[in-house]
Structure 1
Amino acid sequence: MKLQPAHFSLEYAIRPNVLATSASITSTYDESQPRTSVVLDANENPFGSCLTQGSFTLPMNGSTSIDSMAAIGFAETASLHRYPSASQAQLKSAIAAWKGLPSGGHVCLGIGASDLIDLTIRITCRPTRDAIMITPPSFPLYKARADLNEVNAVECPLKTGEGEDLFQLRMMDQLHKNPQIKVVFLASPGNPTGTLIPLSDIRQILDFPSFRGLVVVDEAYIDFSDGISALSLLDTYNNLVVIQTFSKMHGLAGIRVGAAFAHPDIVEMMHRMQMPYSISTPSSTLALLALSPAASQARRLAKAQITANRASLRSALAELNSLGVGVPLDGGHANFLLVPILKCGTTQRDGTRARTLVTRLKEEWAVSVRYVGEMPGLQACLRIAVGTKAENARLVEGLLAILA
């Protein structure tokens, strides 16, 4: 089947210097091109990692932690003195199979989703000339990375209570008036709104003939939702990039692995811009393990628990309405609540009270929540992640003590 849309052109969407260059080529280890038994081509340390049993004198009292011993054992078996796979073909193929994609050629790996957001801007937008579109309130990193890359960020704000049709019309009008826009960033579910964008709305933007750039759907929180991923559109559209991560539902924020899914031609452009060896051996090893049946079962159990805890936290906060804890505004598709803080006994939002609450929760109760009141439409709002039952209970206890 021929890919859509007909108006999309790689030559228009991608920066000329990226089109003209080649991907970084390395002669070191890759799954498809095994190295020889005598490896003298990469200036590595031939004697192995310094993190080996023989390199350490263990304390006489045996106080070396189990975690330290496990790390040393991993270092001895993972060939950490060698550079990691250049292509990460094994991990990409495994992720592609897990997502139902034809091949690993549809996958670009990055140092978390944030890296892939920046990478998308850099392959498309010429500094001081091109632009991205964002829909605040949304993930602040979109604009932050645009600013650092000297790329303008055109805003099409989400407005509380505005119908989807009117928002679509405003977005189309902006895209028509601003041909320099090369990327549209859509967070679905949104952060900090927790709202899911219907696939029909995403299709409208992909099909819009006045926009010839890339549509990026940031799905960092999609695993917390029962909604359908935009990955289902990849076999139809070659102007779509979907970004996901191992940081959230997988519970692997510490390994910093994200994945961008797109047409292989787009993935190739991303590879050309990347630094070599962007994914470390420990990170790729753990990401592969996260795709195992056992890890998948653990993920399903975690989702069920987070969903239940989200509902119970929402109910507990409702009991504090009379103290100025407003009804959560989020769409319920992520692992957090978006909570406005009000003047006690009114429906008026109180930014000073909200900021004070954040400070006192941290200092008096060792509970951290995020103030997001500086974002458009979110005056005096807190983003509160769903924790364990005990963590949620401590939060509610702290709120009650401070606000009563």
Structure 2
Amino acid sequence: MSTVLDLVRPDLRGFAGYGSARSERLQGSVWLNANESAWGNPADPGDGCRRYPEPQPPELIRALAQLYDCAPERLLVGRGSDEAIDLLVRALCVPGRDAVLATPPVFGMYAVCARLQAAPLIEVPLCEDGAGFDIDPDAIAAAALEGGARIVFLCSPSNPTGGAISPERVAALARRLAGRALLVVDEAYGEYSEVPSAIGLLEAFPNVAVLRTLSKAHALAGARIGVLLADPALVAVLRRCQAPYPVPAPCAPLALEGLAPAALEATAGRVAVVRRERRRMAAALAALPGVRRAYPSQGNFLLVRFEDADAAFRALLDAGVVVRDQRAAPGLADALRITIGSPDQNDAVLAALRPQRAAATAEIAPAVETRA
């Protein structure tokens, strides 16, 4: 019977990795085993950075396990979701042989990590219809099986298109890929989504993994706390492949504070505001002249097509508003991605995209007066 370990590179299945000083689990009062300084840095009055941190801080692991309602042994914490993506590709894909599948237009790190590992990249573009962008499960399964994909990345909600994938559809695809590929669901924007998480599938589907992060809804992008949730056997392998100290000492307590009940309550309130503003902005942008389409989104952003995307981008910059230019992405030559900000920030976006109408009115008025 196959297990998720069969998807790991054969040379890494028994790999012991690097045994750091903190991984030895020794006890003592005088610590002289890691070549650390005996004195703290003058810039570190709390002396919190003199010692190397725990590779996987136990308190943080417990808090994240509670947050995501899963067993602690299913969790790997790292430097944002990017590290988890890179670890997965390096641990599962034999260079030049095992492929990575992605669904463009989508988050670019899947392709970057595949390139760095010399893993062939298979692309199955999202399908656009009247409801927005969506995956093509049949095309994904066929391409993955035919092309020897070891990892299939699904972004849900998808960046930059905003669509989300139901757990039922993830499960159906996981069944088709069982024993052949790991199905990784990137839920970086999951808190903003009204579609349930794929985390509930982990017990039944060992070939499903989920990525989460504290960077978006939890407002801790600078702390770089990303989480992989997966089969415990796969997590154990990835821990051995991970750099020794992935969670900086100042970041773990900050993340813990951010996961305290009061902080979680504040986060939930802000997510509710973003959802309301997302609906308001989608309607307001769609009504603006020059906007071809504002796509429905389950993330904290909207993908918007313009008749003149360059003019819209420059108008926003002139107003001090910076958005993400998507024109280099496949099929998005006329599109910008606009993050949902505070109500005032969102009003600034709308105001910046309205000047063409005001300018046209100002140019016509003097001409009318002259003729009179």
Aligned residue identity for 1:27:
A
* Equivalent residue runs for 1:38-117 within 5 Å: 38-51=30-43, 75-77=44-46, 79-102=48-71, 104-117=72-85
1:370/1:383 contact within 8 Å kept: yes
Aligned residue identity for 2:316:
L
Shift of 1:255: 0.4
* Equivalent residue runs for 1:2-401 within 5 Å: 7-11=2-6, 13-28=7-22, 33=25, 35-51=27-43, 75-77=44-46, 79-102=48-71, 104-161=72-129, 167-178=136-147, 180-208=148-176, 212-320=180-288, 323-329=289-295, 331-342=296-307, 353-362=308-317, 364-401=318-355
- Partner of residue 369, structure 2: none
- Partner of residue 57, structure 1: none
**Residue 210 to residue 319, structure 1, CA distance change in 2 (3 Å):** closer
Q: Which is strand-richer, 1 or 2?
A: 2
**Residue 401 to residue 292, structure 1, CA distance change in 2 (3 Å):** same
Shift of 1:76: 2.5
1:97-134, CA deviations, whole angstroms, 9 ceiling, x for partnerless residues? 222212x2110011001111111111101111111111
Q: Provide the C-alpha distance between the structure 2 equivalents of 1:327 and 1:86, rounded to a whole number of angstroms.
A: 46
- Partner of residue 349, structure 1: none
**How does the TM-score come out when normalised to structure 2?**
0.90
1:175/1:210 contact within 8 Å kept: no
Shift of 1:166: 8.9
Q: Secondary structure at the match of 1:281?
A: coil
Aligned residue identity for 1:77:
G
Query: CA RMSD for the aligned pairs?
Result: 2.1
Deviates more, 1:156-165 or 1:93-102: 156-165
**Residue 198 to residue 358, structure 1, CA distance change in 2 (3 Å):** same
- Structure 2 gap ranges (5+): 360-372
1:243/1:261 contact within 8 Å kept: yes
Shift of 1:162: 8.8
Aligned residue identity for 1:79:
G
Shift of 1:165: 10
**Residue 117 to residue 165, structure 1, CA distance change in 2 (3 Å):** closer
Q: Provide the C-alpha distance between the structure 2 equivalents of 1:395 and 1:122, rounded to a whole number of angstroms.
A: 41
2:141/2:173 contact within 8 Å kept: yes
Q: Secondary structure at the match of 1:28?
A: helix
Shift of 1:170: 1.4
Aligned residue identity for 2:313:
V
Q: Provide the C-alpha distance between the structure 2 equivalents of 1:92 and 1:277, rounded to a whole number of angstroms.
A: 14
Q: Provide the C-alpha distance between the structure 2 equivalents of 1:162 and 1:208, rounded to a whole number of angstroms.
A: 27
Q: Secondary structure at the match of 1:50?
A: coil
Shift of 1:335: 0.4
**Residue 316 to residue 79, structure 1, CA distance change in 2 (3 Å):** same
1:29/1:83 contact within 8 Å kept: no
Q: Provide the C-alpha distance between the structure 1 equivalents of 2:251 and 2:356, rounded to a whole number of angstroms.
A: 41
Shift of 1:273: 1.2
- Structure 1 gap ranges (5+): 1-5, 52-74, 343-352
Q: Secondary structure at the match of 1:160?
A: strand
Deviates more, 1:202-211 or 1:191-200: 202-211
Q: Secondary structure at the match of 2:136?
A: helix
Q: Provide the C-alpha distance between the structure 1 equivalents of 2:130 and 2:351, rounded to a whole number of angstroms.
A: 35
Q: Provide the C-alpha distance between the structure 2 equivalents of 1:9 and 1:293, rounded to a whole number of angstroms.
A: 35
Shift of 1:289: 1.1
